[in-house]
Every structure is written in structure tokens, then in C-alpha cells.
Chains A and B, each alone.
Chain A
Amino acid sequence: MEDTKPNVVKITFDGIEVEVEAGTTIMQAARRIAEADGTQAHLVPPAMCYYKPLEGTGGKCRACLVKVAQGSAKDTRPMPKLVPSCITQVQDGMVVENTTNPAVLEARKGVVEFLLINHPLDCPICDQAGECHLQDFAFEHGAAQTRYEEERRTFEKHDIGPYIQLHMTRCILCYRCVYTADQITNQRVHGVLNRGDAAEISTYIEKAIDNDFSGNVIDVCPVGALTDKTYRFKNRVWFTKPVDAHRDCPTCKGEVTLWCRGEEVIRVTARKNQWGEVQDFICNTCRFDQKKTSDWVIEGPTKVQRSSVISANKYRADLVKKPDFALKLASSQYKAIDDSRPYVTDPDTIRQQSVENNDKANHRSLLAENN
């Protein structure tokens, strides 16, 4: 390939060739394929910890393992082990197998099982249900039955500041929230303490996060470990209607998704892209304090994927076209009222006229019947 620029490499992902810049990760290359052709979205490896807007994320959960069948054009040996696609950079001539390799799918099943070892199965209670990445991940890649019989690890619920609640029991230790706090807010007061089984998100003796952007940890958390206290048990995600809205915000961009039930705004979140990643981080004022429709300029319903439970029972009445038959009929039969007739007030004349009209009408209907 003489005409390609030196910093462009070509890889084959599940049999599809794609050209990306050198330094791109396999995950990004796969997403590039799906963005160009929406029907290939199922090829993209799932990500539980990798989060593009946050630097340094990825490599923690192993959800995105893929097989590299050929390392590069120069060195055609396969990589010995499955590699995490979110942090592995592409090489020219790399051949990657994801859904085409049964070993990858089998390994992924194992990853689901490991993530669920300590994750409680309390989806009926959890506020994240319906937009939880772990639910999607387990549904698409996991086994139907659990083999785990031991006790799960449990933690007490924590309040992180007045607005955020931490259910450490549900945490999968993806570190996204830690990176968010590091990169978005200027003083991080929470992180991961202890190791292994006992590792937990902590706020150093429950010191409240009172940063303007702290609420974003709720959005980045792939599971229901960090949830919005103002939304706690308010409603199920799929009963609320997401609409895009914006407002003039001095601290953030002010572009959000409102989750409404009827006219009431019950939750505000940042807008997310196709991969569930926040587009623009929003401030706490927008998220927690602006819960009136009048605070916002509504842009229209958020696009929800048809496969998502959030799209259930939403009919878009504004898009349904009313049949125009009745209107057409009315306009074709319209007769202007004849105002030139004399205005009769005398009761006898009225009676007389109504008898005559009745006769005429009978006559007409008889005529119609006989024809």
C-alpha cells in the first residue's frame, strides 16, 4: 500500500477491513466500523470499565477481551492470550477475532460470571435497572444460570454528600468514578480503599463531595452503585420519558436529558452517545436543582434504541398522522348557511314549516329507497 499515509494502519476486525490512525485501540477501530455501518454494532466488544471521555480508563474488567489471530503484517504470529481490546493498540495488518471466535465468547461468559460473583441480583429494587450496562452485558454474553452458591460480599449503604448514594455492594470496581473525580473535579475526595475482596469506594471518612461536577459519577457508573438520591425509588427508568433539553448554565454547557413522567421532571442526566458515554459533563445545579420544565428549553424526545426497554410504551403521538378522511368529507359537503331567508318568530308558521320540511324529507328518502 504505497498511497496510504504512514500513520494510517489497516486491520481486519471480524473479517471487516478498516483503516484507522496508528495508536488507535482495537475497541476504537471496532466502534469506527459500527459508526460507519449501524448494522455491525453487535461486533463491537462490550466495555464495562473503558470510558472514552476519561483518560486512563480501561483494562480493569476484561469484558472486552478479543483474540488477535495475527499480530501485524510483519509478525504474523497470533498473540498467545486474549487481549483487552480497549487498551491494546492496533498494528498494521492485525487480524482480530471477536464474535467469530468461540473461545472469545466462552471467555466472556466467564467474565460475566466473575463480575456477578459479588454483584447482588437486586435489579427489581435497583434504580439503574433498564439502563445498566451490567444487565446488558450479562443478558447478551452471560449464561442463563448462576453456579455461585456462596455468600456475596455486602457493604452498608453510604451517602456521599447530600445527593449521591453509594451501594458498594453493587460496585464492580471499574474505577470510572475515580477517574471522573480526578479529571472533572479539581479536588478528589473519594477513591478505592483496601484490596481484593475488601476493596471499596470510600470518601475518606464520608467526607462529602461538594464539588460542582461531582454528580457526574452517577452517570459514568455502569451499574447502580452510585445513584441519584433525588431520584431514589421515584420511578422505573422505562416509565419515564427522556427528552433533550438545554438551559443557559454559567458552569457547564447545560445540555441534558430530562426524564419526565407526564409534565414532571423526575431526573436530569447528561446526554449519552451510542456507547453509553457522557457527551458533555453537567454541573450539579443542572442535575439536582433544576427540576421544573419551565427551567428548560425542550428540544424534543431523546432517540432511544428500539431494543431498549426505555422505548416500551412510548408512542410518539405527535408523529401519528390523523386520517384526513373526515376533514375531506366535511369540506366536500360544506354548504354556506343561507342567511337571506326571513327570520320567523311566529310559532304557528314555524310549526307549519317544520311539517312541510318533514314531508319533503320523507319524500326524499322514499325517492332514494325506490331508486
Chain B
Amino acid sequence: MQLTERSKQVSNKEMTLSEKAYLPAIVQGMAITLKHFFKKKVTIQYPEVKRYLGPVFRGRHILKRDEEGRERCTACGLCAVACPAEAISMVAEERQKGEEHLYREEKYAAVYEVNMLRCIFCGLCEEACPKQAVYLRHDEMVPVFTERDQVIWGKDLLVENMNNRYKREAWTKEEARQLDQKRAEGQAAGVEPRAIP
């Protein structure tokens, strides 16, 4: 049965003289190798060089703040229970009087850790979050690491920096779908990426 066009019948018949001479086949092989020297390289020098990441890429996590800089996460644990890899853990704390400018809700995550070695970047945590607090960045990956303790990311690495906010064109599925639709119809040329309110 012929499965593909490129399949070749293998046989045991006597070799011809040129095949027996061995050298032509070697030269042919070397030529193929040589040809690749002049082709465009498919590899890149990661991490110095990085590829373009699409708007739906799921990279490293970020814990968002709202426009007043208060942390959105309320340590509800829905991301952790949704996570198929059990990568997320947290410890909740009650907000004290005078901390209203730091945390949005009555309860907040005092410790929030993502184990980047466990994480499979499925984005289920993002979907589970009722407070729009956790997102997977589309523009940054987990950097190369050499030590195991570099892969447990705490709040110091996860919480958003207000001076360099994470911006996206669309924050919800519905928004993204609408945007896609508009693009397909040729409208909506320049959509300004924005931080979540």
C-alpha cells in the first residue's frame, strides 16, 4: 500500500557500478549539507534574540492592580483549584484599617506563589479569576533559569509595576472576539493597548 508520494520501495537487488563506487553518493550527501549553509537559518539565539509573540500568547503570570494601584487579588483560591497542574498556592490575610489603598478587597493574598516548573501555561487560572487579577502576559515568557528556587515566583515578581503597566488590546474573550470581527471587516485599524481599569 502506498501511503505517501515520497515513499520508496526498498529492494535487495545488486548495486550498480556507480553505487558501488561509493564516492558519488558521499558527494551528493555533502552537497545537501553544504546547501544548508547558504539557506536562511531557522534557529534563533534565544534568549538574546526573541521571536514575535502573538496577542493570544500565554506567557508568564502577572497579578494586576487596579487604576489606583490596589491589588485586585482577593485570595479566593479559584485559580488554584482550577489549575490542572496545582502550580498555585496562596495564604490569605485580612485587610487592616489603613490598608485600603493597598488592597481592593477585605481579604488579600499575603503570599501568592506560582511554580513555573509545574505550570503548563494553559491559562485556566486566568479564566477562573473572578476579580480579573491574574493574567498570563502575552509579551513575556518565563526567563531562562539555572536554579530551582528561581522558578517559584512570589508576589515580588508577579505583582504589576504601576510605572510599567501591562497593556493589552483586549482583556476578555468577548472583547477579543469583537476586535477580531472588526478586523475581519476591515475596520478598527489602530486599537490602543490599555491597562485594565
Interface of A toward B, CB cutoff 8 Å: 122-125, 129, 232-236, 238-239, 309, 312-313
Q: For the complex, give the distance between the alpha carbons of A122 and B107 in Å.
A: 11
Q: For the complex, give the distance between the alpha carbons of A129 and B107 in Å.
A: 14
Are B81 and A232 in contact, with the CB atoms below 8 A? Answer: no
Are A312 and B131 in contact, with the CB atoms below 8 A? Answer: no
Choose among A233, A234, A312 the residue that contacts B81 (Cβ–Cβ < 8 A): A312
A234: B residues at CB distance < 8 A:
92
Are A235 and B92 in contact, with the CB atoms below 8 A? Answer: yes
Are B107 and A233 in contact, with the CB atoms below 8 A? Answer: yes
Q: For the complex, give the distance between the alpha carbons of A239 and B77 in Å.
A: 8
11 inter-chain pairs at a CB distance below 8 angstroms, sorted by A residue, are A123-B76, A123-B130, A124-B76, A125-B105, A125-B106, A125-B107, A233-B75, A235-B92, A236-B81, A239-B77, A312-B81
Are A125 and B76 in contact, with the CB atoms below 8 A? Answer: yes
Of residues 90 through 144 on chain B, the ones whose CB sits less than 8 Å from some CB of chain A are 92-94, 105-107, 130-131
> A124-B130, A125-B106 are known contacts. Are A232 and B77 too (CB-CB below 8 A)?
no
* Chain A residue, CB-CB nearest to B84: A313
Q: For the complex, give the distance between the alpha carbons of A232 and B81 in Å.
A: 19
A129: B residues at CB distance < 8 A:
76
Are A313 and B81 in contact, with the CB atoms below 8 A? Answer: yes
Are A233 and B76 in contact, with the CB atoms below 8 A? Answer: no
Are B105 and A124 in contact, with the CB atoms below 8 A? Answer: yes
Majority-rule SS of B interface residues = loop
Q: For the complex, give the distance between the alpha carbons of A309 and B81 in Å.
A: 9
Are B94 and A232 in contact, with the CB atoms below 8 A? Answer: yes
Given pairs A124-B74, A125-B76, 12 additional interface contacts (CB within 8 A): A122-B106, A124-B76, A124-B105, A124-B130, A124-B131, A125-B74, A125-B106, A233-B75, A234-B92, A235-B92, A236-B81, A313-B81
Are B107 and A236 in contact, with the CB atoms below 8 A? Answer: no
Choose among B74, B81, B93, B105 the residue that contacts A238 (Cβ–Cβ < 8 A): B81
* Chain B residue, CB-CB nearest to A238: B81
- Cβ of B68 within 8 Å of any chain A Cβ, yes or no, is no
B82: min CB distance to chain A, Å: 9
Contact with A along B70-90 (1 / 0, CB 8 A): 000011111011000010000
B107: A residues at CB distance < 8 A:
125, 233
* Chain B residue, CB-CB nearest to A232: B94
* Chain B residue, CB-CB nearest to A239: B77
A124: B residues at CB distance < 8 A:
74, 76, 78, 105, 130-131
Are A238 and B77 in contact, with the CB atoms below 8 A? Answer: yes
B93: A residues at CB distance < 8 A:
233
A166: min CB distance to chain B, Å: 15
B17: min CB distance to chain A, Å: 35
B75: A residues at CB distance < 8 A:
233
Q: For the complex, give the distance between the alpha carbons of A123 and B130 in Å.
A: 10
B92: A residues at CB distance < 8 A:
233-235
Are B76 and A236 in contact, with the CB atoms below 8 A? Answer: yes
A235: B residues at CB distance < 8 A:
77, 92
A125: B residues at CB distance < 8 A:
74, 76, 105-107
Q: For the complex, give the distance between the alpha carbons of A239 and B76 in Å.
A: 11
A309: B residues at CB distance < 8 A:
81
B146: min CB distance to chain A, Å: 30
Are B131 and A233 in contact, with the CB atoms below 8 A? Answer: no
Are A233 and B94 in contact, with the CB atoms below 8 A? Answer: yes
* Chain A residue, CB-CB nearest to B73: A124
Q: For the complex, give the distance between the alpha carbons of A336 and B105 in Å.
A: 68
A232: B residues at CB distance < 8 A:
94
Q: For the complex, give the distance between the alpha carbons of A235 and B74 in Å.
A: 12
* Chain B residue, CB-CB nearest to A234: B92
B142: min CB distance to chain A, Å: 23
Q: For the complex, give the distance between the alpha carbons of A227 and B81 in Å.
A: 22
Which 6 pairs from chain A and chain B are nearest by CB? Answer: A124-B76, A236-B77, A233-B92, A124-B74, A125-B107, A233-B107
Q: For the complex, give the distance between the alpha carbons of A277 and B78 in Å.
A: 26
A315: min CB distance to chain B, Å: 11
Q: For the complex, give the distance between the alpha carbons of A124 and B107 in Å.
A: 9
Choose among A122, A123, A233, A239 the residue that contacts B80 (Cβ–Cβ < 8 A): A239
Q: For the complex, give the distance between the alpha carbons of A62 and B74 in Å.
A: 33
B76: A residues at CB distance < 8 A:
123-125, 129, 236
* Chain A residue, CB-CB nearest to B74: A124
B88: min CB distance to chain A, Å: 11
Q: For the complex, give the distance between the alpha carbons of A124 and B106 in Å.
A: 10
> A125-B76, A125-B105, A238-B81 are known contacts. Are A313 and B94 too (CB-CB below 8 A)?
no
